[in-house]
Amino acid sequence: MKQIDGGITAVPGVRAAGVHAGIKAADTKDVALIVTDTPAPAAGVFTKNSVTAAPVIVCREHLSDGRAQAVIVNSGNANACTGEVGMANAQQMAASTAAQLGIDADLVLVSSTGVIGQQLPMDKIENGIQAAASALSPEAGADAAEAIMTTDTHPKSVAVEIEIRGTPVRIGGIAKGSGMGAPNMATMLSYLTTDARINPQTLQTALNRVVDDTYNLLTIDTDRSTNDTVILLATGHANNVDIVAAAGENYEMFCEGLQFVCTELVKMLARDGEGATKLVEVQVIRAKNRSDAENAARAVAESPLVKTAIFGNDANWGRIMMAIGKSEAEFDPYQVNVYLENYQLVKDGMDAGYDENRATALLAQDSVLITIDLCAGDTEITMWTCDYSYDYIRINADYRT
């Protein structure tokens, strides 16, 4: 596996565009379009929030046959809590994009991210769709990555080339955060492309599996948006033997590549969380089972007290013990070990006699790994988050005003 340039357009058969349509106040790109040259096997994973934005409902409908050919995205407005008008507008985005591309509307997926509760400015959206269709290019993956941003401080893009039985296959992806709860209140969006030959059902199974181990283990501030969306399109331009079932070596190779791309994007999202000064990886090892591992890791990764201590470079391991204790994971408190970058802070649930200055220095890095050994089984998990800084408060206290 090797990393390559080009993001989503590193994949043959994919064109993209990112244009400025004036939906966001700033003079920045705010409409993205991603198109495959033919109708492609497509898979999606969407927010579980019961207050579901209109575009997510349209995506679910249009993905029911496992095929799609285009994704149209606007930033600056989430089209959530917008009622029937909002639904009609989301459908209109698909219809207008389809008309521009000369394809069926149900081959078009739709995303929106931005403020909740306001209707889309449809005149600007229509102009944006037209401009994006004209700008489509097999080199414009970076423009699309830029156009989907809200408060992200930089675009997020990655691509790899893997080999499936000697045949090169490409997987590319872009994502925006910056937090499940961006100040815009919406959204984590990610679009993935591949030229693998793979059928829709297997593509969806692979995406579900990888999302469970990546995007679903990302937490910025516990909030989950109304618009979260991950979409994967497969152009089939590669010459690999068709992957027709979710088993076997070819499938595993594909999942490994997809896992790499998504993990890299998730780390970029965590590191660029609102106000974040560092990436925090929380690894739980020797948990009794997956659910205990995830609960313990989540309790630590979401604890405001842990996150503020990390911001302050304070190796306050008592807060980690508190967090796993409230998680309902099963373990013996007096068997727990805690490490910071493999340096032991806690031994058998008590102070390991570590050096405070060394711990502080380890925390002062721009990437921090906390390992929690529960001594209760053989399951492990890694979650990704960031610290809580003054800027998190500043960004979120003042967003709309």
Which residues are the active-site residues?
187
Retrieve residue 60's tokens: 């679910």
The yes or no reply on residue 82 touching a copy of itself (CB under 8 A) is yes
Of 193 and 327, which has the nearer Cβ to a copy of itself?
A: 327
Of 245 and 350, which has the nearer Cβ to a copy of itself?
A: 350
**CA atoms of 191 and 142, how far apart (whole Å):** 12
Question: Which one of 99-107, 179-187, 203-211, 245-253 is the stretch in contact with a copy of itself (CB under 8 A)?
Answer: 179-187
Of 30 and 221, which has the nearer Cβ to a copy of itself?
A: 221
The yes or no reply on residue 254 touching a copy of itself (CB under 8 A) is no
Question: Which one of 100-108, 189-197, 259-267, 310-318 is the stretch in contact with a copy of itself (CB under 8 A)?
Answer: 310-318
Of 236 and 275, which has the nearer Cβ to a copy of itself?
A: 275
The yes or no reply on residue 325 touching a copy of itself (CB under 8 A) is yes
Total interface residues for a copy of itself by CB under 8 A: 65
Question: Which one of 166-174, 237-245, 365-373, 392-400 is the stretch in contact with a copy of itself (CB under 8 A)?
Answer: 392-400
The yes or no reply on residue 303 touching a copy of itself (CB under 8 A) is yes
**CA atoms of 345 and 136, how far apart (whole Å):** 53
- Residues 28 to 67 in contact with a copy of itself, rule: CB under 8 A: 48-52
- Residues 350 to 379 in contact with a copy of itself, rule: CB under 8 A: 350-351, 360
For residue 104, the one-letter residue type is: D
Q: Could you give the C-alpha distances from 30 to 17, 72, 74, 266, 335, in angstroms and in order?
A: 11, 11, 6, 22, 52
Residues 6+ apart with CB under 8 A from 158: 3, 7, 172, 173, 261, 264, 265, 268
Interior angle at CA 257, CA 253 and CA 170, nearest 5: 100
Of 79 and 205, which has the nearer Cβ to a copy of itself?
A: 79
**CA atoms of 3 and 257, how far apart (whole Å):** 10
Question: Which one of 63-71, 73-81, 91-99, 196-204 is the stretch in contact with a copy of itself (CB under 8 A)?
Answer: 73-81
**CA atoms of 44 and 232, how far apart (whole Å):** 6
Instruction: Rule CB under 8 A: choose which of 214, 225, 250, 295 binds a copy of itself.
Output: 225
Residue 133, classed as helix, strand or coil, is helix
* Of 22, 24, 20, 19, residue with least CA distance to 34: 19
Instruction: Rule CB under 8 A: choose which of 191, 251, 260, 388 binds a copy of itself.
Output: 388
Peptide bond into 389 cis (omega under 30): no
Of 159 and 189, which has the nearer Cβ to a copy of itself?
A: 189
Question: Which one of 151-159, 202-210, 238-246, 320-328 is the stretch in contact with a copy of itself (CB under 8 A)?
Answer: 320-328
Tokens 């800027």, residue located: 391
Residue 229: in which H helix or E strand, if any?
A: strand 229-234
Interior angle at CA 132, CA 126 and CA 135, nearest 5: 145
Provide the binding-site residues for a copy of itself, judged by CB under 8 A. Answer: 48-52, 78, 80-83, 115-118, 181, 183, 185, 221-226, 302-305, 308-309, 311-314, 316-319, 321-326, 328, 331, 333-334, 346, 348-351, 360, 388-390, 392-394, 396-401
